[in-house]
Amino acid sequence: MTTFHLSGYPRIGAKRELKFAVEGFWKGAKSEAELRETAAGIRRLNWAAQKAAGADLLPVGDFSFYDHVLDLLCTLGAIPKRFGFDAANLSLQEYFQLARGNATQFAMEMTKWFDTNYHYIVPEWHADTEFSVNAQNLIAQIKEAKAQGYDIKPTLIGPVTLLWLGKAKDENFKRISLLPKLVAAYAQLLRELAAEGVDWIQIDEPILAADADENWIKAVETAYKELGNTGVRIIIGTYFASVAEHLNLLKSLPVHGVHIDCVRAPEQLAVFADAWPENKVLSVGLIDGRNVWRANLSKVIDTLKPVQEKLGNNLWIAPSCSLLHSPQDLAVEEKLDSEIKSWMAFAAQKLVELGVVKQALAHGKDSVKEAVAASDAAAADRATNKKIHNEAVQKRVADLPKGADQRKSPFAERIKAQQAWMKLPVLPTTTIGSFPQTAEIRQARAAFKKGELSAADYDAAMKKEIAYCVEVQEKLELDVPVHGEAERNDMVEYFGEQLAGYCFTQFGWVQSYGSRCVKPPVIFGDVSRPEPMTVYWSAYAQSLTKRPMKGMLTGPVTMYKWSFVRDDVPLSLVAKQIALALNDEVLDLEKAGIKVIQIDEPAIREAMPLKKAQWDGFLAWACEAFRLSSTGAEDSTQIHTHMCYSEFNDILPAIASMDADVITIETSRSDMELLTAFGDFKYPNDIGPGVYDIHSPRVPTAAEVEKLLRKAMEVVPVERLWVNPDCGLKTRGWKETIEQLEVMMEVTKKLRAEL
Ligand code: GLN
Ligand code: ZN
DSSP 346-384: -HHHHHHHHHHHHHHHHH-GGGGHHHHHHHHHHHHHHHH
- Answer yes or no: is the C-beta of 551 below 6 A from any ligand 1 atom: no
Task: Pick left, alpha or beta for residue 632 (phi over 0 → left; psi -120 to 50 → alpha; otherwise beta).
Answer: left
Residue 51, amino acid: K
Does residue 479 line the site of ligand 1, with CB under 6 A? no
Burial of 600 (0-12, 13-18, 19+ CB in 10 A): buried
Burial code (b: 16+ CB inside 10 Å, e: under 16) for 161-199 equals bbbbbbebeeeeeebbebbeebbebbbbbbbbbeeeebe
Report which of 375, 394, 387, 391 is spatially closest to residue 293, judged by C-alpha positions: 375
Which parts of the chain sit beneath pLDDT 70? none
Cβ count within 10 A of residue 301? 23
Hey, what amino acid is at 157?
I
Strand pairing category for 662-665 and 638-643: parallel
Residue 213: exposed, middle, or buried by beta-carbon count in 10 A (0-12, 13-18, 19+)?
exposed
Contact 599, 629 (CB under 8 A): yes
Distance of CA 435 from the midpoint of ligand 1 (Å): 10
CB-ligand 1 contact for 730 (6 Å cutoff): yes
Q: How far is the CA of 586 from the centre of ligand 2 (A)?
A: 21
Is 527 in contact with 574 (CB distance < 8 Å)? yes
3-state secondary structure 2-54: CEEECCCCCCCCCCCHHHHHHHHHHHCCCCHHHHHHHHHHHHHHHHHHHHHCC
- Coil/strand/helix, residue 276: coil
Residue type, 311: L
Q: Single out the catalytic residue among 119, 256, 389, 695.
A: 695
- Quick one: CA torsion of 626, 628, 630, 633, rounded to 10 degrees? 150
436 lines ligand 1 (CB under 6 A): no
Selection from 265, 176, 280, 274 nearest residue 228 by Cα: 280
For residue 643, report the distance from its CA to the centre of ligand 2, in Å: 5
What is the number of the ligand closest to the CA of 726? 2
CA 553–ligand 2 middle distance (angstroms): 13
482-536: pLDDT as tens digits: 999 999 999 999 999 999 999 999 999 999 999 999 999 999 999 999 999 999 9
* Ligand 1 neighbour 728 (Cβ under 6 A): yes
Q: Which residues pair with 561 in a beta bridge?
A: none
On whether the CB atoms of residues 2 and 318 are closer than 8 A, the answer is no
Q: Residue 599 Cα, ligand 1 centroid: separation in angstroms?
A: 10
Task: Indicate if ligand 1 lies below 6 Å from the C-beta of 640.
Answer: no
What is residue 555's predicted lDDT score, i.e. its pLDDT? 98
Q: Check if the beta carbon of residue 55 is closer than 8 Å to that of residue 357.
A: no
Q: In this structure, how many other beta carbons lie within 10 angstroms of the beta carbon of residue 455?
A: 9
The per-residue pLDDT for 647 is 84
Neighbours of ion ligand 2 (CB under 5 A): 644, 727
Q: DSSP secondary-structure letter at 213? A: -
644 Cβ inside 6 Å of ligand 1: yes
Instruction: Indicate if ligand 1 lies below 6 Å from the C-beta of 727.
Output: yes
Nearest residue (by CA) to ligand 1, atom 4, is 728
Picking from 552, 557, 532, 578, the residue whose alpha carbon sits closest to that of residue 486 is 552
Among protein residues, the one with the nearest Cα to ligand 1's atom 9 is 602
Q: Which atom of ligand 1 is nearest to the CA of 554?
A: 1
The whole-angstrom separation of Cα 137 and Cα 86 is 15
Asked if 650 and 708 touch (Cβ cutoff 8 Å), the reply is no
Catalytic residue status for 325: no
Ligand 1 atom with the smallest distance to the CA of 602 is 8
Rounded distance between C-alpha atoms, residue 749 and residue 477, angstroms: 10
Q: Mind spelling out the 3-state secondary structure of 659-683?
A: CCCEEEECCHHHCCHHHHHHHHHCC
Q: How confident is the model at residue 192, as a pLDDT?
A: 98
ipTM value for the complex: 0.99
Instruction: Output the pLDDT for position 649.
Output: 87
Distance from C-alpha of 253 to C-alpha of 227, rounded to nearest angstrom = 10
Distance CA 293, CA 287 (A): 9
Asked if residue 428 has its Cβ within 6 Å of ligand 1, the reply is no
The answer to whether 328 and 10 have CB atoms below 8 angstroms apart is: yes
Backbone dihedral region for residue 509 (phi beyond 0: left; psi -120 to 50: alpha; all else: beta) = beta
Distance 147 CA to ligand 2 centre (A): 48
State if pTM tops 0.80: yes
636-654 burial: b if 16+ Cβ within 10 Å, else e: bbbbbbbbbbbebeebeeb
Ligand 1 pocket: which of 432, 601, 604 to mutate (most atoms <8 Å of CB)? Answer: 432
DSSP-assigned letter for residue 197: T
